[in-house]
Structure 1
């Protein structure tokens, strides 16, 4: 295992070229006219995005006997655990102790343990399971093959593929078909994963062949003929940034929501679509016996003013190295720093880096935001026919790549610290950067194939009972905060503060709203919101990696956006409402993963591994159920709060299949959830 990854870091060669040459030969953003599709592929369920949510959607669709088409921009399944390199499962202790997860997620954990003989081959301390990204992809591929066989479904796996266009009915209610582009290396061109994403993404969305890629144009269509008015196939957006909801132009939010009684900790009185959570290009580094030559990247001085250990209790290189250590063939001595116990790095250990004041890249203004807003998409022509190019700012990707490479150099050779001052950071030359197609990230340049995304576009659900302007899951639906702090009385108008306390008062809500009880005299409920249309579960802290105040993010003396961390903290175990997965306008589009209808603050908890799987399991099950019962998903919830018999049938099916919709002992009859930590 060790020898396979001993790939020297030579910044002067390939990675330097790929990162810098984007200045020299940028691709044009003007798409060529489409040509006749090379082939047509039939689907019952089209899943766009092969991350954990997409894999889970496919898994349940296949077990239900459906033909599932699964597209993915990279060649690896798994998103967070593979192509994004964050192969360290984020889990809460209570849920992990009870092993209360969706059946597919439990199977994933089981197969990781079977692969290595233990669940944590990296002996990391952030998680109970840290392992190599390539294995995450291979395990998921084997799971889908087994599901295909068991359920007698059919998987159309389409790696290196992006959706370019949607054919939507004149009444805007049905996606009739989709056009996708699949790329392979052009003759005599370098293999896939040679170039960074910033250099290949625009090419991937063009119809014409290029010096790098040969393209196949694929038409994706329903397998079944239309019967009546209900959909004959479903499209599920499980992309990392909400590509399909942007391309379909359904209502969505992006970035910060305006402060209100629903989102009282919002850092802004107004919406700010440019401030999303930071994205991260992960990389792997190996501890070595001898010092290694370390070459400063030419762009390092631009980013050096940003890097930091962040907090004094984290200012230890061994602590940071082992935080997400993904491979450890020999156990080191026990160490302790900042109250954290871990085993020391030993030669041959491999660490994956994902650090807030390190390889996180955190733009937050209209000049540098990564995920384009609707207005920016219009301005760049991406909402015109044939104009879609992925909806991301390529230059932000490039700078995120440079920032990540610079962070490696800071770790091994840096002597400055932007937050803790001089004298804290010491050089650590006994390490090497792992690059090469056989390296942990599977890329010639050594960075993850796709950045780890914490936040994307989030749909606004349909108007419904209790949500006349469109359904969403908000901060107060999940947070443990009591909101008695003087800040909230001052930040919210008196009427809004009363509504906040009433919303959290349970049976005393009417007394608060009517003025019979003062808000400060009412006890806060100790649970999250219970949704009658729950189809999945999740549990994680509200965890922020805030955008930076000024542009560019790496500017000397820059700070995190003021107030962004106010909403951070512990959350009660929460549910995934079906209404959060159903967008407005289009009846055969479902949403999983990070683009369900949550607020900016709630999204900071609804983003980790087990949640993504649970939302995907719900999407796959719902799509198969809707096809079998000739009913559209919105019809399952359109009469709430009255009983919905078909919704109850769906929920029973989910539970029967081992996909929980609620945590144990968290019903309306149990008002105290304090044991769930």
Structure 2
């Protein structure tokens, strides 16, 4: 291990444009250029080893770490931001789930996570008795999910769950580190180098197995792992809703989320965003027409693409039968809490109006990545300013100046999420690819010879999930694709690269297509994938089988599936009759 002085040891002064450098022998004065050169020379470099290295601290990465740790493995987990939890926390997205989630359709540990969140509210918040006694407490009473809550509460629970393993030294978490290079020997990753965005320190991470749980599938190009981006052609996949021509740059919109509350007697109008005029006047030029301006009280119905009216009313009184966006992703319903504890509801803004689709983050240079994120932030701030000043009221008024940007909710100076909400990543070229004919209602009805009303059965299932196939507008100017899906399984073959032996995906980078990513990308499925990956790699280490061998050898696969089922990972959905009783 090499240890030297890092950037934190360099103190800038105003003395003749130079700097003072802290060294073991005292302060040394030098020019700024020489100091910067010295900084690059004196970055700290360290080699760390573990049984499993996980790059990316989202839900998949956290679940992979937790299941690995519970199997006695030593884990290194890296995260680009200073919050673990991915879409549930740093991206500010309350869980997108299905109607059976309280009882089935996820792993046991995912439901335990949800229950811990509820118990945290019961233990620490002044809930009304009706809310406290509700076994299915939903702090925000939002329409999108049966459990909408503050991101920081989920973060707190994740940290509590991991705390014993950090204390014992079994888990090392590296915050604000990003993978920058790798060493690969043919089809085996030997190490991953990560760099701190704060100190520029370098850590070389070594392990028998590596997990790509990044939001964009960053390890795939870094390690030379074969991957796909964008939309495949109908000829390639046979999918009913695939386009005629493939387009690697056809990527779903990302969103910069933010949280607001409403204080009707106060004025919290923000400074006019620099790009406000552009976004106020912006009309999406999509291949399938968008009905007017983006900042408006209407959008394209995701199913029919016809114009659909929307409403925003933070008083929850005036929308009538029109869908009220305010309560859609509300994370605090003040009526759940003692009178006066909250001045108003708190709502998380992840709406059609702040989907950003004018730039593709996948493969972007650092300059372009930052540019697109900044433009996405400008869109979200412009939406807020428009809501405060111009948004029409149900009663004919205009603007809600009492809407207040809650910077504390997402822990940032600008009040915006720490990281973009990413819906689509690079996807591995896998031993098996899930296509629309496996899980899509319409496509399956055309091709299945039996059980047309059920998703395809996967003999190598390592989990289950459900969500409609939900694709947002894309960088190639496609409008929504939204359709019914069937309750599905997660096949192990979709987690195994065609060539690489010790790199496994654990986020939105598994072997789906552009279409089926739309139902495999949500919170409980990502957690299931990550948890199964931790179990898979632990089983490999314990029994000296490679992940590919586990799938290939029937008896070994059966043993592995028995093991994960015993630990609360469901591999098949209950029958329709059993679901009806839930």
TM-score bracket for this pair, using the shorter chain length: 0.7 to 0.9
Alignment of 1:82-93 (within 5 A): 82-86=89-93, 88-93=94-99
Task: Decide whether aligned partners of structure 1 residues 131 and 461 sit closer, same or farther in structure 2, where only a CA change above 3 A counts.
Answer: same
Alignment of 1:124-163 (within 5 A): 124-146=142-164, 154-163=170-179
Q: Which residue does the alignment assign to 2:435?
A: 474
- CA distance in 2 between partners of 1:349 and 1:283 (Å): 14
- CA distance in 1 between partners of 2:444 and 2:456 (Å): 16
Q: Which residue does the alignment assign to 2:550?
A: 636
Task: Decide whether aligned partners of structure 1 residues 541 and 39 sit closer, same or farther in structure 2, where only a CA change above 3 A counts.
Answer: same
**Structure 1 runs not aligned, ≥5 long:** 1-31, 183-203, 205-212, 223-232, 333-345, 381-388, 463-470, 485-500, 507-523, 550-559, 667-671
1:404 alignment partner, one of 349, 369, 380: 380
- CA distance in 2 between partners of 1:414 and 1:359 (Å): 16
- CA distance in 2 between partners of 1:627 and 1:360 (Å): 42
**Secondary structure, counterpart of 2:470 in structure 1:** coil
Q: Which residue does the alignment assign to 1:98?
A: 103
Cα deviation 1:564-609 (Å, max 9, x = unaligned): 52xx212111111111111132111111121000011100000111
Q: Which residue does the alignment assign to 1:264?
A: 239
Alignment check: 8 A CA contact 1:61 1:153 kept: no
Shift of 1:397: 1.4
- CA distance in 2 between partners of 1:248 and 1:393 (Å): 21
Q: Which residue does the alignment assign to 1:330?
A: 335
Shift of 1:659: 1.1
Q: Which residue does the alignment assign to 1:307?
A: 295
Shift of 1:301: 0.5
Alignment of 1:281-300 (within 5 A): 281-294=256-269, 295-300=271-276
1:543 alignment partner, one of 464, 470, 480: 470
- CA distance in 1 between partners of 2:572 and 2:40 (Å): 49
1:180 alignment partner, one of 186, 194, 207: 194
Task: Decide whether aligned partners of structure 1 residues 548 and 309 sit closer, same or farther in structure 2, where only a CA change above 3 A counts.
Answer: farther
Shift of 1:370: 2.1
- CA distance in 2 between partners of 1:475 and 1:240 (Å): 23
Shift of 1:403: 0.8
2:506 alignment partner, one of 592, 615, 619: 592
TM-score normalised over the length of structure 1: 0.69
Cα deviation 1:397-436 (Å, max 9, x = unaligned): 111111111111112212489xxxx99883111211122x
Alignment check: 8 A CA contact 2:267 2:401 kept: yes
Q: Which residue does the alignment assign to 1:660?
A: 570
Alignment check: 8 A CA contact 2:251 2:475 kept: no
Alignment of 1:59 onto 2:44: no
Deviates most, 441-450 or 575-584:
575-584
**Secondary structure, counterpart of 1:593 in structure 2:** coil
Task: Decide whether aligned partners of structure 1 residues 425 and 259 sit closer, same or farther in structure 2, where only a CA change above 3 A counts.
Answer: farther
2:212 alignment partner, one of 234, 237, 242: 237
Shift of 1:37: 5.2
Task: Decide whether aligned partners of structure 1 residues 177 and 665 sit closer, same or farther in structure 2, where only a CA change above 3 A counts.
Answer: same
Alignment check: 8 A CA contact 2:189 2:502 kept: yes
Q: Which residue does the alignment assign to 1:534?
A: 461
Shift of 1:474: 0.5
Task: Decide whether aligned partners of structure 1 residues 475 and 147 sit closer, same or farther in structure 2, where only a CA change above 3 A counts.
Answer: farther
Alignment of 1:1-400 (within 5 A): 38-86=45-93, 88-93=94-99, 95-117=100-122, 119-146=137-164, 154-169=170-185, 172-182=186-196, 204=197, 213-222=198-207, 233-260=208-235, 262-294=237-269, 295-304=271-280, 305=282, 306-311=294-299, 312-318=308-314, 319-330=324-335, 347-356=343-352, 358-363=353-358, 368-372=359-363, 393-400=369-376
- CA distance in 1 between partners of 2:563 and 2:177 (Å): 32
Q: Which has the higher strand share?
A: 2
Alignment check: 8 A CA contact 2:438 2:444 kept: no
**Structure 2 runs not aligned, ≥5 long:** 1-38, 123-131, 283-293, 300-307, 315-323
Q: Which residue does the alignment assign to 1:433?
A: 405
- CA distance in 2 between partners of 1:660 and 1:120 (Å): 25
- CA distance in 1 between partners of 2:152 and 2:42 (Å): 35
Alignment check: 8 A CA contact 1:37 1:217 kept: yes
Task: Decide whether aligned partners of structure 1 residues 99 and 266 sit closer, same or farther in structure 2, where only a CA change above 3 A counts.
Answer: closer
Alignment check: 8 A CA contact 1:48 1:236 kept: yes
Alignment of 1:461 onto 2:430: yes
**Secondary structure, counterpart of 1:89 in structure 2:** coil
Shift of 1:543: 1.1
Alignment check: 8 A CA contact 1:526 1:673 kept: no
Q: For the aligned residues, what is the CA RMSD?
A: 2.9
- CA distance in 1 between partners of 2:581 and 2:61 (Å): 28
